[in-house]
């Protein structure tokens, strides 16, 4: 029985999206070469084509025929995907509480003083936006 499709990209799909957000359009061979360089594992050309075609079907990618091959580009923005992950995490793990999520991040991650200063600026900016 086939696994049900996720609302979010799989691990490999996310790796491919990161590559294509950085540079696109790319042919399969370039996507495969970058995946192999980052994953340090061999990937069959046909496996990469299969995943890219699944991602096209899921509407994560666009593909354009160029000669005998296809060039792939992301159809979804990084912010759209990351926002979906964060919203799901917030809902499922933190019962919709942004403060609980931020507290968990601050307590579990190594956040230096520069990052804390940047987080303070973002909170102040967001508070000002809500007053307007």
Residue 53 and residue 29 share a domain: yes
Residue 84 and residue 32 share a domain: no
- pTM for this one? 0.82
Domain count, the chain: 2
Query: Are the C-beta atoms of residues 14 and 22 closer than 8 Å to each other?
Result: no
Query: Are the C-beta atoms of residues 48 and 31 closer than 8 Å to each other?
Result: yes
- Residue 84 placed within a domain: yes
What range defines the domain where residue 111 resides?
Answer: 78-131
Give the pLDDT band of residue 4 (cuts 50, 70, 90): low
Residue 126 and residue 82 share a domain: yes
Residue 93 and residue 52 share a domain: no
**pLDDT, tens only, 37-90:** 987 778 999 999 999 999 999 999 999 999 999 999 999 999 999 999 999 999
Residue 122 and residue 87 share a domain: yes
- Residue 4 placed within a domain: no
Residue 24: left (phi > 0), alpha (psi -120 to 50), or beta?
A: beta
At residue 3, the pLDDT reads 61
CATH number at residue 48: 1.10.10.10
Could you check whether the bond before residue 20 is cis, i.e. omega within 30 degrees of 0? no
């Amino acid at each position: 029985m086939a696994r049900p499709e996720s609302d979010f990209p799989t691990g490999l799909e996310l790796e491919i999206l990161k590559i294509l957000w950085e540079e696109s359009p790319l042919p399969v061979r370039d996507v495969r070469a970058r995946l192999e360089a980052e994953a340090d594992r061999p990937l069959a050309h046909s496996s990469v084509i299969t995943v890219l075609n699944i991602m096209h079907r899921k509407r994560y990618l666009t593909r354009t025929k160029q000669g005998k091959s296809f060039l792939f580009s992301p159809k979804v923005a990084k912010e759209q995907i990351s926002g979906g992950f964060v919203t799901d995490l917030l809902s499922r793990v933190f019962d919709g509480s942004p403060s609980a999520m931020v507290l968990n991040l601050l307590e579990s991650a190594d956040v230096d003083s520069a990052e804390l200063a940047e987080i303070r600026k973002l909170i102040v900016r967001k508070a000002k936006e809500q007053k307007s």
